[in-house]
Amino acid sequence: MPPASIRRIAICTGGGDAPGLNAVIRSVVIAAINRGWECYGIRDGFNGILFPERYLEGGVFRLTLDKVRDIGHLGGTMLGSTNKGNPLHFPTRMPDGTTHEIDRSGEILEYFAKKELDALVSIGGDGSLTIADALHKKGLRVVGVPKTIDNDLDKTMTTFGFDTAVAFATECLDRLHSTAESHQRVMVVEVMGRYAGWIALHSGIAGNAHAILMPEIPFDLDKVTNRIHARDAAGQLYSVVVVAEGAAPRDGHTELQAPAEIGHAERLGGIGERVAKALQERTGKDTRVVVLGHLLRGGSPTAFDRLAAMRFGAAAVRALDEGLSGVMVALAFPNVNYIALEEVAGRMKAVPMDSDTLQTARDLGICLGD
Ligand code: F6P
């Protein structure tokens, strides 16, 4: 039997925000309204359903054309987001003061049934798409849209948000070159990306870094030191080193800002500082560290990310219209296609060792710490 036709859909954004979220929302809303459907936005992941009392204007609200007018170029998400609200493992404080993970997905399914919402467009990274897959398996019609600045989602050529993060990091590297050169310093630039080195590698090459350290290649600081010495010997008295937050030395560990806790993944960060100190000791050169952090997540999406976001949003609506569920929209250049959510859930896409981009870095003489 063909799936019932759609009349009402809901949209949610989950996990860390990324430039392009508003462009997806706008695209979904316009494409849906053009089909005669109604659209609703859920606030802060699923919190709008789980904690309606927190929202004066309602945890779930109608998305009209007026609401999404001129938002495509804005950073952030008009719906709000959270990376602490997995409804399948919701951290809940018990009367005895302990915290446990509770499965609250039933409340979401009940809400959709009660409000006669026919389907969900879930925009998010690995965590959100894993939740989307679980909700689909529990009977909800769901289409996922891949988002993350980290570009670490499998089965899609890229996620929206990544291009903007790389463009901004590259601009920062350009700016740091001149001040590094003026002061004959080593500049260490830490970028986000969790356990994937995509942002470090792409911005490092585009921004003419002299060394790029990434999680996929455990690094040896002797190699970086040698590279800096070689540059000094050639009269190039400054160096720029990009370090991914998830990079770790061969004989060491990943630096954490905070360990994982119930309902929240560990927070990476601090490797830039460690690398800078070690390089200063080894080379005797004045060294500074810059942590780009959340700056990479803000701002207006690049034209590439806006277009990707709008194509993903429209394709998500087409998928629902065609009766699909349990799929993620993916970029398979030059087109978009649909991939089963279960093929994406829980998988991470690291930079492959045979990538030509990695080889490009080597061919350009960039030290990768190995
Ligand atoms: O996944 C996106 C991301 O920005 C990662 O690159 C980073 O490790 C993490 O989110 C930071 O999360 P938070 O906003 O919770 O500090």
For 86-106, the three-class secondary structure string (H helix, E strand, C coil) is: CHHHEEEECCCCCEEEECCHH
Kindly state if the Cβ of 26 falls inside 6 Å of ligand 1: no
Kindly state if the Cβ of 192 falls inside 6 Å of ligand 1: yes
Residue 1: predicted pLDDT? 60
Closest CA to 332 of 154, 150, 132: 154
Kindly state if the Cβ of 83 falls inside 6 Å of ligand 1: yes
CB proximity list for 43: less than 8 A, separation 6 or greater: 55, 59, 60, 61, 79, 80
Residue 263: predicted pLDDT? 79
Tell me the CA–centroid distance for residue 40 and ligand 1, in Å. 27
Model-level pTM? 0.97
| Domains of the chain (ranges, CATH numbers) | 8-160+301-343 (3.40.50.450), 164-297 (3.40.50.460)
Tokens describing residue 46: 């699923």
Tokens describing residue 72: 């495509």
Question: What's the pLDDT tens digit per position in 47-91?
Answer: 999 999 999 989 999 999 999 999 999 999 999 999 887 899 998
Cβ pair 328, 155 in contact under 8 A: yes
Whose CA is closest to atom 13 on ligand 1? 16
Whose CA is closest to atom 8 on ligand 1? 194
Question: What's the pLDDT tens digit per position in 157-195?
Answer: 999 999 999 999 999 999 999 999 999 999 999 999 999
pLDDT of residue 127 exceeding 70, the answer is yes
pLDDT of residue 4 exceeding 80, the answer is no
Question: What's the pLDDT tens digit per position in 15-59?
Answer: 999 999 999 999 999 999 999 999 999 999 999 999 999 999 899
Kindly compute the dihedral angle of the four CA atoms of residues 98, 99, 105, 111, in this order, to the nearest 10 degrees: 80
Question: What's the pLDDT tens digit per position in 94-115?
Answer: 999 998 899 999 999 999 999 9
By CB neighbour count within 10 A (0-12 exposed, 13-18 middle, 19+ buried), where does 35 fall? middle
What value does the mean pLDDT of the chain take? Answer: 96
Residue 2: predicted pLDDT? 59
Tokens describing residue 22: 């508003």
Count CB-CB contacts under 10 A for residue 102: 13
Residues with active-site annotation: 150
% the chain with pLDDT above 70: 99
Q: Which atom of ligand 1 is nearest to the CA of 15?
A: 1
